[in-house]
Structure 1
Amino acid sequence: MTGTSPKISFRGVHHVFDVAGNPFTALDEVDLDIADGEFVTVVGPSGCGKSTLMNVAAGLLEPSGGEVLVDGGRVRGPSPQRGVIFQQYALFPWMSVRENVEFGLKIARMGKAERRARAERFIELVGLTDFADALPKTLSGGMKQRCAIARAYAVDPAVLLMDEPFGALDALTRVRLQDSLLDAWTRERRTVLFITHDVDEAVYLANRVIVMAARPGRVHRIIDVDLPYPRTEEIRLSPEFAEIRNQVWHSVHHQPSAPEAAPR
């Protein structure tokens, strides 16, 4: 983080779910700042509140306490300035790739010519130009996710929130999409909050890795990833990468146990 104002700020974020009539603390007093243009990944054990954290940032969930600020303004609901990409592709099956990418722009009443030009730009960015007229049912899982990324980028969000977007993909496709995402991020420099359960993915993508602790969900450790971009196979296989990966792995899998916090 630099001395400039953060793009995203979590301030004492606390959230309690009702589970079969019993309170469950998913997040407990989370404080975190993310800089403009920063790529931050979040990892942690099952039940650490990773998805809850993202849903609060997206405005899809009102926290029980605390607040999330984007550009200094409190998040009070969903906004086109915060693009959200889930593990499920959520594409309209009756629409082509181009129509899916244009959808948000159409809702925003952008003119047809400008809408088409903008969609084409982001379809090219994710490498789907040859499939612009294809329906989702004809695409592979990786291509569907690239389409979802293009659709999110097209509406020009300041922030991208991604919840395990590559989790359902095979290993090779996953690596290719990581590189595709980083290529787009390098050119566009959106602020990215990326949730993952994969330690290697977390390190490969990020400027910083946020390690969460579970029950209650809280920030356990923040690890800087001092590796150059563009990230390459050589970097992935380097001793420096292995050292950071081991730090993250140990922080995720060898945490001291903590008692469940009382709901507030």
Structure 2
Amino acid sequence: MNSKKISFQGVSKSFPLKDTDFVALSEVSLDIADREFVTVVGPSGCGKSTLMGMAAGLIDPGTGQILIDGRPVAGPGPDRGVIFQQYALFPWLTVRKNVEFGLKLSAISPEERRGRAQRAIDLVGLADFADALPKTLSGGMKQRCAIARAYAVNPEVLLMDEPFGALDALTRVQLQDQLLRTWSQERRTVMFITHDVDEAVYLANRVVVMAARPGRIYKVIDVDLPYPRTEEIRLSPEFGRIRNEVWHSVYHQAPAAPAA
């Protein structure tokens, strides 16, 4: 892997809860290399989405800092594309216009904007639906449109918060393969949040397992499996071994130590 792209340095975050503070994250430190694909998995309430929100610049850390290319994150920026579980498409705009929307703030000509949008649409396999409205698309196609919109602004980092969580099992597997094909061509840095252990292993170079109460990094597991990932790899003994290691790390964690 290359140099650090994303660096979480001693990040903690608390939220007020009735008469006390809920500690969402405690002293999280993690480096993600340039062009690395990292998945983050853990039980509900472990702070996965909070961590990603901080990297996106949507949530301020209580303490510590997040760096992108060595520069502190001070808010959202075009260097980071963010994709959520909800598609967040404009229903009155076509696929093409939805993908172009994020480019309207860029100082580029309408011709270049259209060209970049078309390349992103082609990349996710929606060329035949470029002029369709979101209401005519399946859930998987809507999510591909959201991914294309993120790619069109040419971000260096993709931050994905359970983007396939609402999809059926078959569509989910198909979009995992589509995402990996796109990543193999573009090689952007990806931080991918998921609850699904199989998905976490299938996609990643490394799986970051988090623990809750307080939210913290429990274990980081290397996924030493070749790309491109295939069904044969998913059924291999080595995949099963890594999956079991991640599963046990998520669901058989020792309880957090009591506060001093």
| Same-fold status (TM-score > 0.5) | yes
Number of equivalenced pairs: 260
- Give the whole-Å Cα distance in 1 for the aligned partners of 2:246 and 2:259: 24
The residue matched to 2:240 in structure 1 has which SS? helix
- Give the whole-Å Cα distance in 1 for the aligned partners of 2:94 and 2:257: 50
- Residue 231 of structure 1 corresponds to 229
Q: Does 1:252 align with 2:250?
A: yes
- 5 Å matches for 1:138-153? 138-153=136-151
- Residue 137 of structure 1 corresponds to 135
- Give the whole-Å Cα distance in 2 for the aligned partners of 1:107 and 1:75: 20
- Give the whole-Å Cα distance in 1 for the aligned partners of 2:141 and 2:50: 27
Maintained 8 Å contact 1:8/1:68? yes
Letter in 2 for 1:253: Y
- Residue 172 of structure 1 corresponds to 170
Matching residue within 25, 31, 34 for 1:33:
31
Question: What are the superposed Cα offsets for residues 173-230 of structure 1, whole Å, 9 maximum, x if unpaired?
Answer: 0000000000000000000000000000000000000000110000100000000000
Q: Does 1:181 align with 2:179?
A: yes
Structure 2 unpaired stretches of 5+: none
Letter in 2 for 1:99: K
- Give the whole-Å Cα distance in 1 for the aligned partners of 2:54 and 2:258: 21
- Residue 242 of structure 1 corresponds to 240
Letter in 2 for 1:7: K
- 5 Å matches for 1:51-200? 51-200=49-198
TM-score with structure 1 setting the length: 0.97
Matching residue within 197, 206, 209 for 1:208:
206
The residue matched to 1:95 in structure 2 has which SS? coil
- Give the whole-Å Cα distance in 2 for the aligned partners of 1:207 and 1:260: 33
Letter in 1 for 2:131: D
Matching residue within 17, 21, 24 for 1:23:
21
Maintained 8 Å contact 1:215/1:260? no
Letter in 2 for 1:56: M
Q: Which shifted more, 158-167 or 113-122?
A: 113-122
Per the TM alignment, residue 259 of structure 1 is displaced from its structure 2 partner at its CA by 4.2
Per the TM alignment, residue 107 of structure 1 is displaced from its structure 2 partner at its CA by 1.8
Per the TM alignment, residue 260 of structure 1 is displaced from its structure 2 partner at its CA by 6.0
The residue matched to 2:104 in structure 1 has which SS? helix
Maintained 8 Å contact 1:123/1:129? yes
Per the TM alignment, residue 19 of structure 1 is displaced from its structure 2 partner at its CA by 1.7
- Give the whole-Å Cα distance in 1 for the aligned partners of 2:139 and 2:16: 34
Question: What are the superposed Cα offsets for residues 36-58 of structure 1, whole Å, 9 maximum, x if unpaired?
Answer: 00000000011100000000110
Maintained 8 Å contact 1:38/1:207? yes
Question: What are the superposed Cα offsets for residues 85-128 of structure 1, whole Å, 9 maximum, x if unpaired?
Answer: 00000011110000000111112132111111111111011010
Maintained 8 Å contact 1:216/1:260? no
Two-structure CA RMSD over aligned residues (Å): 1.0
Change (3 A) 1:118 1:261: farther
Matching residue within 47, 50, 57 for 1:49:
47
Per the TM alignment, residue 20 of structure 1 is displaced from its structure 2 partner at its CA by 2.6
Percent pairwise identity: 74
Question: What are the superposed Cα offsets for residues 217-258 of structure 1, whole Å, 9 maximum, x if unpaired?
Answer: 001000000000000000000001000000000000000001
Letter in 2 for 1:14: S
Runs of 4+ off more than 6 Å: none
TM-score with structure 2 setting the length: 0.98
